[in-house]
């Protein structure tokens, strides 16, 4: 379920949460087209009723990108950031706009912290982050190809350093890497106001969208909004994730399905489709633009598509066999 608080934004358009001591990461996978968001905070659904905990900072636009707005969180700023991403602004341009158009005035922009990732029109990952001078120490951010990590009121820079190191060193899916990044901050007092509780934070979340997902139905959407005193939310989130892997992750297909060439020049070939498979193409806005059923070992398709970035999804009997980005050139 998508937790972007549209209703909350309408009711409290200028109501900030307290200065959340928050650490988080947004990231994209340029191979699969997945977009992810994870974080934890000393904010929970008790300290900020209706927030569902730290997840309030997360906004994922499937097929486009993700935005985290934190430190004196403001619903109006989060809504505006989404609108600018929908308009096609780059992460850097969204940050510039937010700093110049803060819903409480430009001076208050220095109280905010943002992390933004997306795909450019050619399908390349982009990232940007901003930490205002008025955020509480320790504060900072780190960016790299396809990811942004940020935090405030932290134990120190080692929290973000550890998150980045775990994210980059972990193999596996984007979800695996995001979960590993959060474990990098699983130390008492990572958010300093949680030190007395003996935990890193009070709430935590992990979310991943595949191409073609909708805002309110993500491939992975786990949240720990609140726990009894002394319980570690990152550990609880890890248990939820482990259970999800066992019960909800799609089974690996017996036959590997391949799509080539990529970039595609007016056609694509599907290999490994011994049984009936559904092939779907989504544009960069997550809108389905092509669908067909294929049979047999090899199939060549020639959908009439404009040049640009697409995401191809192949499924069989409700199980996703392949989901990846596709650059389309030489089209119509």
Q: Residue 101's domain is classified under what CATH number?
A: 3.60.20.10
The model's confidence at residue 318, banded by pLDDT at 50, 70 and 90, is confident
Whether residues 43 and 156 fall in one domain: yes
Whether residues 35 and 147 fall in one domain: yes
Residue 253 in domain: no
Residue 162 in domain: yes
Rounded CA-CA distance 186/199 in Å is 8
What was the pLDDT predicted at 47?
A: 60
Whether residues 149 and 243 fall in one domain: yes
Burial (CB count <10 Å: 0-12, 13-18, 19+), residue 47: middle
> How confident is the model over 79-133, as pLDDT tens digits?
999 999 999 999 999 999 999 999 999 999 999 999 999 999 888 999 999 999 9
Residue 299 structural domain: 258-329
Whether residues 227 and 276 fall in one domain: no
Answer for the pair 238, 229: CB distance below 8 angstroms, yes or no.
no
Whether residues 175 and 314 fall in one domain: no
> How confident is the model over 255-297, as pLDDT tens digits?
578 898 988 998 999 987 667 889 999 887 778 899 999 887 7
Q: DSSP for 8-20?
A: HHHH-TT-BPP--
What was the pLDDT predicted at 11?
A: 33
Whether residues 87 and 215 fall in one domain: yes
Whether the per-residue pLDDT at 32 is higher than 80: the answer is: yes
Whether residues 139 and 264 fall in one domain: no
Whether the per-residue pLDDT at 65 is higher than 70: the answer is: yes
Whether residues 266 and 235 fall in one domain: no
What was the pLDDT predicted at 99?
A: 97
Rounded CA-CA distance 82/198 in Å is 35
Instruction: Choose the final residue of a domain: 191, 214, 247.
Output: 247
> How confident is the model over 161-210, as pLDDT tens digits?
999 999 999 988 999 999 999 999 999 988 788 898 999 999 999 999 99
Number of domains observed in the structure of the chain: 2
What was the pLDDT predicted at 253?
A: 45
Instruction: Choose the final residue of a domain: 222, 247, 272.
Output: 247
Residue 293 in domain: yes
Residue 240 in domain: yes
User: For 65-85, what is the mean pLDDT?
Assistant: 96
Whether residues 160 and 32 fall in one domain: yes
Q: Which residues contact 278 (CB under 8 A, 6 or more apart)?
A: 291, 292, 293, 314, 315, 316
């Amino acid at each position: 379920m998508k937790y972007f608080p549209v209703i909350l934004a309408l009711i409290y358009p200028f109501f900030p949460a307290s200065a959340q001591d928050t650490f988080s990461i947004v990231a994209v996978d340029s191979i699969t087209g997945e977009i992810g968001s994870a974080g934890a905070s000393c904010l929970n659904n008790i300290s900020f009723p209706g927030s569902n905990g730290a997840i309030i900072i997360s906004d994922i636009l499937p097929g486009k990108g993700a935005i985290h707005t934190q430190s004196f969180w403001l619903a109006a700023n989060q809504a505006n950031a989404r609108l600018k991403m929908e308009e096609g602004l780059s992460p850097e341009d969204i940050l510039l706009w937010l700093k110049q158009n803060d819903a409480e005035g430009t001076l208050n922009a220095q109280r905010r912290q943002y992390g933004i990732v997306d795909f450019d029109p050619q399908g390349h990952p982009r990232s940007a982050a901003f930490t205002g001078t008025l955020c509480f120490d320790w504060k900072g951010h780190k960016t790299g190809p396809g990811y942004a990590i940020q935090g405030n009121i932290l134990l120190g820079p080692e929290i973000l350093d550890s998150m980045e190191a775990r994210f980059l060193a972990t193999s596996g899916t984007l979800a695996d890497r995001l979960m590993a990044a959060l474990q990098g901050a699983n130390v008492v007092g990572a958010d300093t106001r949680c030190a007395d509780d003996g935990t890193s934070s009070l709430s935590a979340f992990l979310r991943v969208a595949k191409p073609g997902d909708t805002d309110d139905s993500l491939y992975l959407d786990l949240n720990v909004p609140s726990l009894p005193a002394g319980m570690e939310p990152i550990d609880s989130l890890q248990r939820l994730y482990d259970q999800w892997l066992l019960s909800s992750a799609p089974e690996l297909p017996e036959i590997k399905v391949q799509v080539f060439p990529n970039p595609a020049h007016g056609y694509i070939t599907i290999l490994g489709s011994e049984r009936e498979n559904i092939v779907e193409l989504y544009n960069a806005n997550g809108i389905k633009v092509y669908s067909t059923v294929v049979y047999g070992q090899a199939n060549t398709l020639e959908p009439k598509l404009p040049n640009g970035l697409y995401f191809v999804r192949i499924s069989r009997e409700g199980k996703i066999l392949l989901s990846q980005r596709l650059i389309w050139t030489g089209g119509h």
